[in-house]
Amino acid sequence: MKTKYEMEVTMNGLNQEELGKSVKETRLAKGWTQQQVADKVGISRSLLAKFETGNRKLSDEKIE
């Protein structure tokens, strides 16, 4: 059985909070808006904003 921490680690070795920060850094570096990324992923802009700040988690499906 996996520990809570092991379940929170994504396939690339980052937890969701770290992944959210990475998504934001990449998005800003590429000049993309939150709305552009959210539309491509199929989530709301507000959910993406919360994910980037570590206030919400995304399903494994959305992360992929």
24 Cβ neighbours under 8 A, 6+ residues apart:
52
Would you say residue 8 has pLDDT above 70?
Answer: no
pLDDT of the residue at 10 = 56
Measure the CA–CA gap between 22 and 49, rounded to whole angstroms: 13
pLDDT (tens digit, 9 = 90+) per residue, 22-44? Answer: 999 999 999 999 999 999 999 99
How many other β-carbons are positioned within 10 Å of the β-carbon of residue 1? 4
pLDDT of the residue at 61 = 84
Of all residues in the chain, the percent with pLDDT exceeding 90 is 59
